[in-house]
Amino acid sequence: MKVKCDCYNRLRKTSGTEVIHITVGIIGGGAAGLFAACFLKREGASFTLLEKTSSCGNKLLLTGHGRCNITNRKPPEELKDGYHEASGFLRSALRAFTPDDAVEFIVNELKVPLKEEDNNRMFPVSDKASDIRDALVDYAGKDNIITGFEVSDISREDDRFKVTSGDGRSYLFDRLIVAAGGKSFPHTGSDGNGYELVKRTGHTVTPLSPALTGVPVREEDREFTSSLSGVSVYAGTGLYLDNKKKNRAEGNVLFTHDGLSGPAITELARDIPVDVRERDGWIELDFTPGRDEKDVDEELLSKMRIRPDARLTTIGAEFVPSSLSAALGERAGVTELRACDVTREERRGFVRELKHLHMSIERQPSFDTAYVTRGGVALGELKRKTFESLIVPGLFIIGEMTDIDGISGGYNLQAAMSEAYVAVRASLC
């Protein structure tokens, strides 16, 4: 007889008089899998985490440039807006395990002190992602973790999940949490094989594309970006495809040797399709966002009247860094001109570069450099409150494997934690 369980602390079901412990398997020792392991440990549950590489949390170690931006302390109602199309779906998990809950768990249970930086971003006080990774592994318990186990198949055996590795080892679990990650930074272990595993259980995977990454520009614009490599400037950005504006952002833009990066660019990357060249994809940069062209032109003109002997590009440096002003001046063909010699057309040409710098996109960015994967297991096949599969009861799919990606600022790790929390709670019922 199965006893109805009204609380996730109840770890047992009964069969006649025999008490059977529910055993939970976790596939993947990344952020989502490790947090799931810790939540199971906190409940005294029986579980085993299977990780394919020789150590857990390889990607976690790279997060926040090695500092780990573990969460973003915004209220869940505000936070959810950072998850694009999935904001509605994730809402209930974010409310069940909020950023405040995450902070409390990490500080009080994992014993890793945290600090808050700009835009509500939370980091370990030590600035070391390894402190979070090590604390997670210690808390979950090394005895519960098996590394070097690459799951190659999931099947059903007598009402249980049989999880098999490529070399023929297998485990049986009552519940299974799959947290095998996305496709980005594949050398960390998350190379997209998890999608194949769950496809074989009947799940659909929506189209995958790289998100949160820099954008390579075409050869004709590469000289421009590489000459400015390392220069960072505040700008409005717009992504254009088929001559239509597809998306926009605002923030810092970083010029690199092969293109553009920085938050105002990486936010656009998820919308760049494979056939971006055929669709004439380009990015527009506006170095005076929020101001119209006429207004900028008038300000430039008044500055030129005050300094008639100065070069136009020197005056332009009052709007943008001087190296960028010089590069824009070259594009507008006004490099050597003094303010008093500049025609109205030439001045307007310079303002056009300031407001509408056009950078053609070379190709879709690579998964090798993407921080996250857009796309994944279709959300219509998961219960939004628990992340349990609607196709295979008892199977939970969490983390980057799902069709959820967040903006930068701690959003992706918070999603991993919230999903792990609701999945664990439901897996023990």
Interacting residues toward ligand FAD by CB under 6 A: 27-33, 50-53, 58-60, 62-64, 68-69, 150-151, 179-181, 184-185, 189-190, 193-194, 371-372, 399-400, 410-413, 416
Q: Tokens for 90, please give them.
A: 């994730």
Q: Which is nearer to ligand FAD, 34 or 361 (CB)?
A: 34
Task: Give CA angle at 94 (161, 414), nearest 5°.
Answer: 80
DSSP 327-371: HHHHHHT-TT-BGGG--HHHHHHHHHHHH-EEEEB-SPPPTTT-S
Q: Which is nearer to ligand FAD, 62 or 301 (CB)?
A: 62
Distance CA 413, CA 47 (A): 22
Residue 159: CB atoms within 10 A of its CB come to: 8
Q: In what helix (H) or strand (E) does residue 352 lie, and over which residues does it extend?
A: helix 344-355
Q: How far is the CB of 231 from ligand FAD (least distance, A)?
A: 22
Distance CA 361, CA 368 (A): 17
- CA 192, distance to chain mean position in Å, is 15
Single-letter amino acid code for the residue at 277: R
Q: Which is nearer to ligand FAD, 136 or 320 (CB)?
A: 136
Q: How far is the CB of 297 from ligand FAD (least distance, A)?
A: 40
Q: Which is nearer to ligand FAD, 362 or 400 (CB)?
A: 400
Distance CA 250, CA 263 (A): 8
Q: Which is nearer to ligand FAD, 253 or 413 (CB)?
A: 413
- At which residue do the structure tokens 């931006």 appear? 69
* Closest-CA residue to 331 (of 364, 297, 357, 309): 357
Q: Which is nearer to ligand FAD, 151 or 239 (CB)?
A: 151
Q: How far is the CB of 129 from ligand FAD (least distance, A)?
A: 8
Q: Which is nearer to ligand FAD, 34 or 283 (CB)?
A: 34
**Closest-CB residue for ligand FAD?**
30
Q: How far is the CB of 209 from ligand FAD (least distance, A)?
A: 15
Single-letter amino acid code for the residue at 167: D
Q: How far is the CB of 401 from ligand FAD (least distance, A)?
A: 6
Q: How far is the CB of 408 from ligand FAD (least distance, A)?
A: 7
Read off the DSSP letter of residue 2.
P
Whether the Cβ atoms of residue 28 and residue 51 lie closer than 8 Å to each other: yes
Instruction: Kindly compute the dihedral angle of the four CA atoms of residues 141, 145, 147, 149, in this order, to the nearest 10 degrees.
Output: 180
Q: Which is nearer to ligand FAD, 179 or 342 (CB)?
A: 179
Contact partners, residue 25, CB within 8 Å, separation at least 6: 47, 48, 49, 50, 161, 163, 171, 173, 175, 176, 177
Q: Which is nearer to ligand FAD, 180 or 359 (CB)?
A: 180
